[in-house]
Structure 1
Amino acid sequence: MRIARLVAIILTILSIGLLAAPPAGAQPPFRLPDYVTDDAGVLTASDRDAVKSAVNRLYTNRHLRLWVVYVDDFSGDGSVDWAQRTIGLSELGDHDALLAVATKGRAYAFLVPPSIPGISQSRVDKLRRNRIEPALRDGDWGGAAVAAATGLNKAPSPSSRRLLLIVLGVIVVAVVAFVIVMRYRERRRRARALAAARRVDPTDARALAAVPLEALEDLSRSMVVDVDNALRTSSNEVALAIDEFGEERTAPFTQAVDKAKEALSQAFTVRQQLDDDTPETPAQQRELLTRVIVSAAHADRELESQTEAFEKLRNLVINAPSRLDLLTQQYVALTTRIAPTEQRLAELHTEFDAAALTSVSGNVTTATQRLAFADHAIGEARDLAAQPVSGQQAALVDDVRAAESALGQARALLDAVDSAASDIRRAVASLPTMVADIQASIAQADEQLQQQSTPQSPHIGDLMAARDAAARAVHSFRGGTATDPLAAFARLTKADADLDRLVATLAEEQATAERLTRSLEQALFTAESRVRAVSEYIDTRRGSIGPEARTRLAEAKRQLEAAQGRKSTDLSEAIAYANAASALAAHAQSLANADVRSSQRATTRRGSNNAGAVLGGIIIGDLLGRGMRGGMRRGMGGWSPTSFGGSSGSPGGSSGGGFLGGGGRF
């Protein structure tokens, strides 16, 4: 008796387990890969062709997409619930309908968005009951899908058209009446979206996947500017710390800045790809923007990792008096340089065209403003240091750092004038040699062309064009148009490089390779001087310069590094990279000039007393405190997880929530 009872219990447990097990062919909701998905394998080749043809006609006639999916079973979910979750996973929108069929489970769902003109609940229900369900009941799987597409493809009735025209008229009137309000709301919406995006962990690519594409664009732009400002400020602060504490004690901070530079460089490289003339798909844009944000965030984290240690090392409150004495000495020394530098700049203006001095033309005026700001900051700091009051130590540190930064920028501005003078004079001194080189190249090209009795080489036409371009460049220089020596040097360098490259292709002579080497050195000099000038310009005006100029400069630096890396392997390719770097640097200068002019107009309208300090990026918060803590501020709530999905649909046979139609058994 006991054995029989035990066997009965075991059989009962096994029966319950078998009843509770999911069907063998159950298919959970998934992202649809195509308009027709037959995971149940019930469509013949002719059925699939008929369904695809009907789906294509529907889209051609009404721009309505019908998605059809066949599975064995709906994995225990209600048909409508399964369909709604599949719609969510597939990101279907207001012009996407879905027919989902469980062939073995004998259940289906047919959901249609309510926004389609001429489509109503009653019409969808009639189509479902009178055409789709009978076909499914008879096992005509393809016929059910064709019936769904054909039923949706019918034109709306005249009354529906009239109603549609009335609705459209009302919409047009509403749009015209509220266009200003809508624009205001759009700005508010974008601002809220950007604020929400800032609360997401910028190093988490999976979390960023939930951020709208538009917000990602805004976030990436603001991040590269904020982190670049923080990195530039941090670099200056670390340089000062090295002078004060030595390289050994500041090694961790130097490493943090170097790692941040590497990460930010990756962000600028991707930003350049987004800004070029080649369009990207939304998916590509999202992937690239995510890379920009993640790279910039990693740069920010590298700076943040050393913030606390750096703050302790640079505790300026302890040695503020001696530090202020040193800053006063620096202020006096830089002040004595103003008049000579101004005279030197005036001499350069009489000697060279204004275009050659764009990057330094306002440096003396700007340096004077920085020195005045530094003098004011030093005075305030001395007052605070002489009368220490609880709660004012942070203000003392801020004043000392502001003075240090202002003096550093003034020094860089004055040094830039000296560098510009030496660069231009070097270009002037090198121009005769450059002209002689290009004339020799022209003569060698003529000799090569004379030796070619027939145009056997495909490069003959290119060589002739390059020779003519080089001759025009020489003629332009001799005609007195070289008011900008660097620009003239760049034109002659490019013409000579192009000509030498083609002569090398035809002659294959070692002498040509030597001239290519000289051309590379000249191209590198042009690129390096331009990149340096633009970098100094942005560094001393970083408070007003946006992401476009910085991106072009970062790309110019990358191209310059590529040129330097190919000096020993491919001279022609290295020259091309150097010329590209020079062109990008010139474009960056133009963009930076426009940003500065715009910011100057804005600060003039606001009447700010510290306009120069704002343009220079000095007053942007608490300098390295902001820089080493990162330009990006996290929300007080930390990083919030993002959830997907929503409420489940109704059981099979009921309405599809926000969709017309429903489902059931057949």
Structure 2
Amino acid sequence: MAGFWGARKREEKAALEAQDADLARRARSALVSADERIRLTTDELAFAEAELGPGPTKDLREALEAVRTHMQEAFHLHQLNHDEIPDTPEELRTRNARIVQLCEWAEDLLDDRTAALAEPIARARRAPEIIAGVRADAARLRARLPEARATIDRLSARYSADAMKQIEANPAEGEQLLSFAEHSASVAERRRDAGQREQANLALEASTEAVRRAATLVDAVETFEIEALRAEATLAAIVEDSRGDVAVALKEPHTPAVSKAIADVQEALAGLPAPGVNTDPFTHLSRLREANSALDAAIAAARERAARPIPPLEHVRHAIDDADRQLAVARDVIAGHRGWIGADARTRLAEAERVRVDLDRYLGTSAAAATAIDEDHREQSMAMARRVAFLAGEALQLAQRDIDAARPQDMTPWGAPQQGWGGGRRGGGDLMGGILGGLVIGSILDGIFD
């Protein structure tokens, strides 16, 4: 048996030594790789600064400085592993693990920072090509400006000034942007030749953005004409549908919401311009769609209400009064027997009182004093009143259960001894207790059946 345990310990020790040896090899390899990466990144930083300038390369420069600082710790730990002072396996293991951690962190950080500069560097190196593209795009867009102006003149004869506000200034703004783009491209070219790479790149970005915005403005003129024609066609269909919806709605039960929705649709239809008058199809289409949707919603609500009768006002008032009575009874019983009432009854009472307050808030006034509750609020009001009554009833039942459980077993519900006419004490205290108990319980029962 001793031989078995000895062999097992030797195996475990050998496995641990193998792991330590592997960790030591990883630490040495990580040091070499990280050091080479620092040297390579230093060269890349020089190239990046030559292409982009010092501003865009600030993050990479700061990362490189941080990596150099932390790698000094890694090299120091490796030196401790090979000095003349003997080390325990635990010390070697801890140092090597720290070396690997520092090296991996350094390479990950440098990877992240150099990757962020890859696209700007590639863009800077393609600057001559990009500048040529900016000038070609600007020339092509300039050739489209006369056509855009002619399109706006043609559309102005058909659509209102309000509708044309979306695009009437597009050709002039586009021409300004193209002039700015051409000027920025020239600035980028001169700054690049002068070695001012950071300023050159900023000017290059400004020129490409200006061309992009000019193209959007010119394209918007053509898009407007297509979308306006589509809006006119859609408006004609919506007008026909709206007139049919109004005719149907006039036959529906006329709730106030339906009447208002019908009036809104009719007003939107009346606001449409006569044939031959310049119009804004987008505005009219939006207005008519909103009015038509509101009418559909009002009709649906009216049909739903017709299918579900609205509670009469008197029924709602009776439900609220009944809830208030039951709530008052439960409140009085619990208040009169506070020492005997448990958490369940108190919780039901608190919930009933909360729902009762919510009912007043829902109606916007004191429900008991309200002279009228409109039809839109009756169904919800009755449901809330019934909830109050139900909770108050539960509170009363739970309170009575607690009272019965706490009352002495040798006492009747009226407080008198459980003995017949022929026996038991007839003391004044017992008699008074019975009278007082009868008065209390009697008042409670009177309240219940009031």
Is the TM value for this pair above 0.5? Answer: no
TM norm structure 1: 0.27
Task: Please tell me whether Structure 1 or Structure 2 has the larger radius of gyration of its CA atoms.
Answer: 2
More helix as a share of residues: 2
More strand as a share of residues: 1
TM norm structure 2: 0.40
